[in-house]
Structure 1
């Protein structure tokens, strides 16, 4: 089973590409639609790695290409998110059990959040892929975190005893950084754990093509007025290590 693995930013995927090239001397790269698709094996599993770039359109376009041009049979997205639920903190990991476009509003033609002509607003993640991803995250937090990210680095970002959360992730073409916006999301979508800018678009495409997906997000901020983290540093020093280590466990378990 060939998996497509996507991320939105360079630091989220560059380490994985380097690991693939180190492991698989026959790995190839194909450029389609201004994106480089890296095909080979990673931790012994056939994968296609790609930088999707930021936003719902970018994620949807990349997902279609992965499915139609490369025939991937499952898709995993990893990246950053802002925490919305009160118990979700910086440095925690959220694995989606479902996604929704929190900014989609075609009223009065269609109900709020519903994708026009699909009759659906919530797109469940694949249970098997999600369970495997959840197990990989649990193993990482229990056994690998201390060696992957030193305590001093975690403390620099205010991270203490990071936790796993499983629940709904919302996507929108906007960066959420106000307490008022977060309050509105909590009111309208009480099951929402975190927000980002790609996952629900990917999920819609996977739904339309019948391809399973799973989604993991590292929480970089609280999506409120205090969302001022040094994102390049957080990506480089924390989130990229989370993603690489979790995906290593996830792929190793598929062997």
Structure 2
């Protein structure tokens, strides 16, 4: 467990890579659903990740782009994605798409709409983008998997409390099944 938030997840990922040199990193957890296609307890397999709360557009960078870095959308590993799809259970509802990250719990419909329109996000969390960033810098393949715990709107806190544990367990079980197949 790295803890919640971009800094905690980045530090935890870097420590893991530095001390254990893993062949790959699989990050799992829960997220708020952003896309209209996504429902509570759906699984999201990340095609890529990025940080939505980076904004230095006044200096000519794109929204989400980290200054002096060409790469700011971090693609996940196709082989890990293939194993993840093969590990899904019959009846699991899943989508493949972008996971965006920021140090904020999304609880407003207007923020949800912004993340959908500007980034084409399937869901939003507080870790995947920074983990993707660290893995990119270290040339370590990675995959982010999220299970939707809430609708990322004004009802988020209610759904989150109700579905947090179930969503986290569902996401973790998938990772265990992936590791068995690799």
Partner residue in 2 for 1:81? 31
Name the residue aligned to 1:163.
93
User: Residue 212 in 1 paired to residue 163 in 2?
Assistant: no
Question: In structure 1, what is the Cα distance between the partners aligned to 2:135 and 2:175?
Answer: 20
Identify the residue that residue 92 of structure 1 maps to in structure 2: 42
1:71 and 2:28 aligned: no
- Are 1:130 and 1:215, in contact at CA under 8 Å, matched by a contact in 2? no
Q: Which has the higher contact order (CA 8 A, sep 6+)?
A: 2
Q: Indicate which of 174, 177, 188 corresponds to 2:104.
A: 174
1:95-134 C-alpha deviation (Å, 9 max, x unpaired): 1000111111012222221111111221100111111112
Gaps of 5+ in 2: none
TM-fit CA distance, 1:202: 0.5
Larger-Rg structure: 1
Give the TM-score normalised by structure 2.
0.93
Aligned CA RMSD, in angstroms, stands at 1.5
Count of residues in correspondence between the two structures:
181
Give the Å deviation of 1:230.
5.4
Q: 1:231 to 1:192 in 2, by over 3 A?
A: closer
